[in-house]
Amino acid sequence: MRLQRGLADLERCEPERAARIRQRARESVRRLSSEFPGDPVSGVLHEGEEAEQRFADFANDEACPVLDPETGYCELYESRPMTCRVFGPPVRSEEGLGVCELCFQSASEKEIAACEMKPDPDDLESRLLADLEKSTGRRGNTIIAFCLATWI
Q: Read off the pLDDT of residues 37-55 as tens digits, 9 standing for 90 and up.
A: 999 888 889 998 888 888 8
Q: 67: number of CA atoms within 13 Å, CB side?
A: 9
Q: Are 58 and 36 in contact (CB under 8 A)?
A: yes
What is the number of structural domains in the chain? 1
| Residue ranges making up the domain that contains 102 | 2-150
Ranges of residues in the chain whose predicted pLDDT is under 70: 101-102, 150-152
The whole-number pLDDT of residue 78 equals: 94
Alpha carbon distance 54, 116 (integer Å)? 28
The whole-number pLDDT of residue 151 equals: 58
The model's pTM: 0.76
Alpha carbon distance 81, 1 (integer Å)? 9
